[in-house]
Structure 1
């Protein structure tokens, strides 16, 4: 048995949520060497590293897997997780033929949603395990909190997620930070009239009846909303953790004056070289095809060999439900392609 004492540095799981427009994305961009999975185009005005915007649930999970395997950053940012949840909803609706995610059937759809979101959190934990921090941003929403009769009900800020999803995100995180504008009410002593003033951006780090928050860095309950306020605590918690992989820099081709023959160009078999993906293929599926090097001709062979449509059916006659089914079951489609089509 091994017994240790003292602090053990590790990569951190941070949830940062706040009201609209307060600067969540900018705050997240100040964590060490961030790479964004931008689900809502909130970083287009920022000079940051980002993946292509995920257009399907499968694509989003693949991006997280890429970070785990290749370690291209020190911090992975999901911006925002409530928009990621919307992508997850569309995935489940397409895969199950649902018109909506609602409480029908004793809430089984919400249970399925929470389970699928749990899959994302599990993958993010695997990113943590290889020493990469994960920052998850979210919008805030006011929700009525019902207490026993003697206490009544009141409004409180929570993550803008479904009721079964929000708790597992909070439980998964090491730190939940809430950002809001602090407003001071001034009362005129003569007229008893009240006026709101201030509007300073603040960050709240501990739970209160009016909001969810927690932290394991021993932060003050209330801080100005600025990364410098948590930088030292974050560095202490992660000291020596999360260095990106160092790869050998590509060597330049020899100069022609060296009289050394240049290497023969190799053919490029990416989808763009083997044929453009026509617009009839939905964007989400087209993105998955590009990510995995699947051409338009190959995806049509998946449809034919898989028995979904007769041979030589034009793409224009493929129903949208079938395109969505392929995107939702992309791993199976790739398996069919690799075992029964590319091996021919």
Structure 2
């Protein structure tokens, strides 16, 4: 059997999470990404920047509908959800109204937070559809200090966390390709009288994990950089490989739109192609013949029925 060797590195839209204390400039930073479209859950947090946005979502259902709209219509090159913690609040309100709960943290605590995590997971899956459609996704979030104790260490220390419920914070951090923590860097100096004074307050971003914060990147960025988009612009946009054309560069736009409307993932589409014997198993999307794409497009409902009855089952 013959196999084709492929390169593993691919340019693709990125999933970015930016968090930091209030007022440090997360929204402004996100507005410098390529052609951003905002979903503002943060009480008109975009009021002081020049950008485009969808209507401010008034509830969780509207937020989900706007994400789905972005996946189908691709109104820009970057979708910015500003902020995750206010989006989480909408999810809590939705669950309380739906289930007639007085509070999300009252009796039956565990089941309620599992339900909340399920809603956040649905949001991340919807944002994955936006990425599949060819847009970057940027999520901003506020940060909060929490006491941390390690089993093999003596004493506790302050640690910066996303201002979210623990389970939701973990899911969003895992979801991201790039997790940036922004903070004010303060230097302590000693004067002639041996008095310690704080100086500076420079805004910086951290790109790698430390005991006092979470961060990660897959672009080989320096551990610490100025909190300016220009500091990461070149490697970030190279990794994005943003195309002027609609779609992800491999799946024709007409098929991609139908796939998103049917709430299917790229892997689901691949399974239709492979298990339906349209192409050999493992054939890259970029090498699927045009006549196959045309057939799939013309017989899309048959393809969805095949997926639901033969693959998903």
TM-score (ref. length: structure 2): 0.75
2:186–2:198: 8 Å Cα contact kept in structure 1? Answer: yes
Q: In structure 1, how many angstroms separate the alpha carbons of the residues matched to 2:189 and 2:67?
A: 48
* Structure 1 residue 235: Cα displacement: 1.4
1:129 equivalent among 105, 129, 132 = 132
Partner residue of 1:85? 88
Partner residue of 2:291? none
Partner residue of 1:199? 201
Q: Deviations over 1:158-206 (max 9, x none)?
A: 1100011100000000010011110000023x43210000000101000
Q: Deviations over 1:216-262 (max 9, x none)?
A: 111000000000001001111012447458xxxxxxxxxxxxxxxxx
SS in 2 for 1:8: coil
Partner residue of 1:170? 173
Q: In structure 2, how many angstroms separate the alpha carbons of the residues matched to 1:78 and 1:242?
A: 22
Q: Deviations over 1:27-57 (max 9, x none)?
A: 0000000000001211112221101110011
SS in 1 for 2:166: coil
Partner residue of 1:180? 183
2:146–2:161: 8 Å Cα contact kept in structure 1? Answer: yes
1:177–1:204: 8 Å Cα contact kept in structure 2? Answer: yes
Question: Which structure 2 residue ranges, 5 or more long, are not aligned?
Answer: 248-313
* Structure 1 residue 113: Cα displacement: 0.5
Partner residue of 1:216? 218
* Structure 1 residue 24: Cα displacement: 0.6
Structure whose CA Rg is larger: 1
What are the equivalent positions in structure 2 for 1:219-238 lying under 5 Å apart?
219-238=221-240
Q: Which moved more, 1:94-103 or 1:1-10?
A: 1-10
* Structure 1 residue 149: Cα displacement: 6.0
Q: In structure 2, how many angstroms separate the alpha carbons of the residues matched to 1:63 and 1:237?
A: 26
1:71 equivalent among 70, 74, 79 = 74
Question: Which structure 1 residue ranges, 5 or more long, are not aligned?
Answer: 246-344
2:148 equivalent among 145, 152, 158 = 145
1:59 equivalent among 56, 62, 71 = 62
* Structure 1 residue 2: Cα displacement: 4.6
SS in 1 for 2:57: coil
1:20 equivalent among 19, 22, 26 = 22
RMSD: 1.5
TM-score (ref. length: structure 1): 0.69
* Structure 1 residue 144: Cα displacement: 1.0
